[in-house]
Amino acid sequence: MKVGIVGAGFVGSTAAFAMVTMGAASEIVLVDANDALAQAQAQDIAHAVPFARAVAVQAGPYAALEGAGVVVLSAGVAQKPGETRLDLLERNARVFAEVIPAVLAAAPDTVLLIATNPVDVMTQIATRISGLPRHRVIGSGTVLDTARFRALLARKLGVTPKSVHAHVVGEHGDSEVLLWSGATVAGVPVERIAEQLRRPLTAGDRADIDEGVRRAAYRIINGKGHTAFGIGGGLARLVAAIAGDERMVTTCAMLNDNVVGVPEVVLSLPRIVGAGGVLDTILPDLAPDEETALRRSADILKEAADGVERRMGWKA
């Protein structure tokens, strides 16, 4: 499958490289306002192809996206000192208002995969601007947060993260919700498996894991200025699921009719991802405190999205 990536910075280029190593695409096209950057990234990634999978990598204008089954949007502007979240959202909304029509003019049947932060609200903005069916506008959402949760649980339990089943839902951000009540290994709740493996999971351990998931991006950004590898891998995995019609269950974001009483809000839930985008959504069983936390997360996202839509003149 041909994949386009608009925005060839750290996230877009790392996602492209991950797609090459994973074999998630047959062709990748990088598009950026800075064409020299896109050309350089494409050439550098193409030089890794002999060591990985046979993927054609090139840079080009929007017209080169013709026939793309998925287009990743990682373009956006950085937050300025003293700038509010709504200011940033409005500026990124204006970027999307230019980018998305250009993408759809070349690839009207594509699935849009949103990576630009704040990703939940930007996914709602992309859904509005594009006019596409909501299942074809997907935000990376908590796909990375879920991976972090599984990795930290796996380290505590002494198993591979691939054997841990646990999800993070809600916002990709501070109000995200770790679903401890549904976390399992081999179908056994993590508290019981921890006892069996003689690795007790204490309240302190749970707090450390929660903090490790929730604050991971802050620590990484403080250390090197950006995150790229984790989200690049997550984006590549979502692309592979769409390309291969895998019907993979993973957490990602899209516009929901109603979540725990909050209408028309974008947030992450476990979803079945395959050809054409999101095929279905799964609402997991929630403990009472998890449901309360998810409603709070939904309220925060709804308020932010409504705020930027009013500022853009899209909502009274």
What residues act catalytically? 172
The residue type at 93: A
Q: Contact, 110 vs 69, CB < 8 A?
A: yes
Q: Contact, 227 vs 220, CB < 8 A?
A: yes
141: buried, middle or exposed (CB in 10 Å: 19+, 13-18, 0-12)? buried
Distance between CA atoms of 201 and 191, rounded to whole angstroms?
Answer: 6
Q: Count CB neighbours of 224 within 10 A.
A: 10
Determine what percent of the chain falls in helix, strand and coil, rounding each to the nearest 5: 50, 20, 30
Distance between CA atoms of 38 and 59, rounded to whole angstroms?
Answer: 6
Q: Contact, 281 vs 59, CB < 8 A?
A: no
Question: Among candidates 217, 211, 215, 220, which has minimal Cα distance to 117?
Answer: 217
DSSP assignment of 152-165 equals HHHHHHTS-GGGEE
**Residues contacting residue 85 through CB under 8 Å, at least 6 positions apart:** 118, 304
Token readout for 310 is 């009013």
Please count the residues of the chain.
Answer: 316
Cis peptide, bond prior to residue 118, ω within 30 of zero: yes
Token readout for 141 is 């959402």
